[in-house]
A = this chain, B = another copy of it.
């Protein structure tokens, strides 16, 4: 690059640049997050500890930050997520023992089909249930804080957007959707108000098929837009 030798700022020491992912899915009636184990080598920071999946930006491989996040998401889950959003950046001298580093945290939501494997998980990657503002396990780096921020963002947005719809399988009933809202919010919602609200928006469309069970069949719906969330004018319940 013609500028590299000329400009003084370019001689600044450059921070390490990483991307971390908070990948959420719902399973067993719980909101869960995908974590990976750090390598066991003593030459790595936080060996053997659980952490958000992520890693260094590869300036040769990655077109941009979001592509980098999508690449890492695909590496870990084998799937595209229907929803991916940047939560924010954390950069300081202390968060990584290898030096001043900046991480870019992305929140991803997986539908049930791509979500947690039904049975066991690999030893170095598994789903952890969210309890309060994090997981029970102690996390590497400042990932407890990063995860907390991702959970907060998700919970806040769920109050006035259709984000939980991205945690569903491709076809679902309104009762199932309400149930996922309740799991993420951690509180019950009123059935009539919920249904009125969802159907008043452009969020879902009827699938000409019913979900059969051991009682009255329920209408199946699917998303009208596979990735675009809907914003409601009011929160689900007042905040103050």
Which A residues fall within an 8 A CB radius of B?
1, 3-4, 6-7, 9-10, 12-17, 43-45, 55-60, 63-65, 68, 86, 88-93, 97-100, 102, 104, 201-202, 230-235, 237-240
Contact = CB atoms under 8 A, between A and B. Distances in A.
13 contacts: A1-B99, A3-B45, A6-B43, A13-B59, A14-B14, A14-B17, A15-B57, A63-B93, A64-B92, A65-B89, A65-B102, A68-B91, A88-B89
Contacts of A64: 90-93
A23 B86 CA distance: 22
B102 A90 contact: no
Contact of A4 (B4, B15, B98, B233): B98
A12 B59 contact: yes
Given A88-B86, A240-B233, A59 B15 contact: yes
Q: Main SS of chain A's interface residues?
A: loop
Number of copies: 2
Contacts of A232: 239
A147 B35 CA distance: 35
B86 A104 contact: no
- List the 8 closest pairs (A to B, CB-CB), nearest first: A64-B92, A233-B238, A59-B100, A65-B91, A14-B14, A3-B98, A9-B56, A234-B234
Contacts of A104: 89, 91, 102
Contacts of A60: 13
A139 to B, nearest CB: 19
A78 to B, nearest CB: 23
A235 B233 contact: yes
A16 B1 CA distance: 13
Contacts of A12: 56-59
